[in-house]
Structure 1
Amino acid sequence: MSDEATTEVLKALQAALAAEHAAVYGYGVVGGRIGAQRLTEARSAYDAHRARRDALAREVRDLGAAPVAANAAYALPFEVTDATTAVRLAAALEARVADVYSDLVRASSGERRGSAAGALREAAVRAVRWSGQSVAFPGLAERDAPLGRAGASASPSPSASSTP
């Protein structure tokens, strides 16, 4: 792999790791408000994101870099006060994770690309379960655009650096 390709892969790995840190934090908030009916689903997603986070940190170290650290806290995209807003947050977390994994799919090849595609798929499936809505191409920026307005987003995508 060329230095330029390694740099792109590392950048995408670090972005995915940052998104996983934010998702782990966010699911802590979700778990506190979700209610008993969907608590098992929230715990399962939390565990999946922790496992992905740990695997990504190992991959970054294997490439000779220091994994990006988690923030102490993250600004949420909206106030989470009850089970309904907790479900909205879970859907937003999964959409954000799918976004960054699509970048990792583009930047990588071989086994890493397959793993990233699997993570993108898992996040997209969880997003559908939480939101009740699907998109044609999870992880693409124009996914929420009204017909004829490619690139316009109907809902903001939180950034991995400051929000889950």
Structure 2
Amino acid sequence: MISVPRRRFLALAGTAALAVTGCQVSDPVVHGGPTAPPPEPSPTPEPLRPGQQAALEHEVALAALAAQAHTGAERLRLGPGQAAAAGWMATAHDAHATALLDPHPARRATTAPTTGPSPRPRPTPSGTLAATTRDQAIDQLRDRLERALSDYRRAALGDQGPTALVWGSLAAYARSAQAALTRDEPRPRPPVVEVRELEPWSDAEAEQQALRQVHALVYGYQVAIPWFPRAEGQTAYGVLVQRRDLRDRLAKALRTRGQAAPAAEPAYALPHQPTDRATAAELLWRMESAYAPFAGAWLAAATDADARREALESLEQSAVLGVEWGGPLSVWPGWPS
């Protein structure tokens, strides 16, 4: 038998104990508690821009009111043009609300709607269409549009870049929808177009492009006016005078800043040559619709408060004139397509 000193034995015994228990320490058995890691919390949505929540509530309410007017068109005795306009408005205001759910509404305005979850819950519509006659229904819709229009104009004049155009486009739509409701006339269905992002123009470049289009508008009105009856011809001539004034103001603003003011071309290739009153009106609404994206780019690029106000007024006027000459209700007036 080999003799081992007591102290040496205790040291070896301790080492053996560690070797035996090592597998138990490295593979513990835990009773109770969660069996999977806790789920990560949902990300907090980005905050909305100032005025965006109010705009979202406007659009949700307008979508609901327009839908009620459309479904109740027979009971309210809406004319066919007004009933169609109410249906198109319901769709457009719903699209506006979808864009406004995103903290970057310009990004949502220029992309197709998705079927995924929204960044935040859609608010519940406030108010119902408490109308029993056609005039009451039209008045309630127009008044609700006017409330929204005031907020949109304020936001457009206080913002800049693509977001200013979001507000300006909503303002232009509100005004054009008011005009469409007033006129019970047949008009084309709103075109299904893919809205594109803005061109990265400077304020001077945007004004130069707008001026080129205003020159074309002046030419188009001059061609169309002779085909209208007397009263409508006078209306068209009044618009022509306004377009000439805008042309002169744009040219003066550019020259004041030392920028070139593009001159008018001798003639322009028109969408079509008018042959009667209907084709003359179609020429004008098509040209106003073609001008609107240039007014929108001018609004987005404007760095001066006065220029931004003039661009907004020009965009609104173009959207309204397009509808008044018989054109469709564009969902996002002022955005390139």
The normalised TM-score by structure 1 is: 0.78
Determine the structure 2 residue equivalent to 1:138.
333
- Which of 189, 206, 218 is the matching residue for 1:12? 206
* Candidates 240, 244, 266, aligned match of 1:72: 266
In 2, the alpha carbon distance for the partners of 1:102 and 1:139 equals: 4
Greater RCO, CA 8 A, separation 6+: 1
Indicate whether 1:113 and 2:113 are aligned: no
Residue 205 of structure 2 aligns to a residue whose secondary structure is helix
Q: CA deviation at 1:66?
A: 2.2
CA RMSD in angstroms comes to 1.4
TM-score by length of 2: 0.39
1:4-37 residue CA offsets vs partner (Å, 9 max, x unmatched)? xxx7111100111011100000000111212224
Structure 2 unaligned residues grouped into runs of 5+: 1-200
How far did residue 137 of structure 1 move?
1.9
How many residue pairs were aligned? 136
Return the alpha-carbon distance in structure 2 between the equivalents of residues 46 and 133 of structure 1. 21
Give the match for residue 136 of structure 2.
Answer: none
4+ aligned runs moved over 3 Å, structure 1? none
CA contact (8 A) 2:254 2:261 kept: yes
Residues of 2 paired with 1:115 and 1:82: CA distance?
A: 33
Identity within the alignment, %: 33
Give the Å deviation of 1:92. 1.2
> Is the contact between residue 289 and residue 318 of structure 2 (CA under 8 Å) also seen in structure 1?
yes
Per-residue deviation, residues 81-136 of structure 1 (Å, max 9, x unmatched): 11111000110121122111000011113221111011100111111100253222
Secondary structure at the aligned position of 2:202 is classed as helix
CA contact (8 A) 2:211 2:262 kept: yes
- 1:90 is the counterpart of 2:284: yes
2:321 pairs with 1:101: no
Unaligned runs of at least 5 residues, structure 1:
1-6, 143-164
The one-letter amino acid of 2:204's match is: L
Give 2:30's aligned residue. Answer: none
Supply the AA of the counterpart residue of 1:15.
Q
In our comparison, the structure showing a higher alpha carbon Rg is 2
Aligned letter for 1:88? E
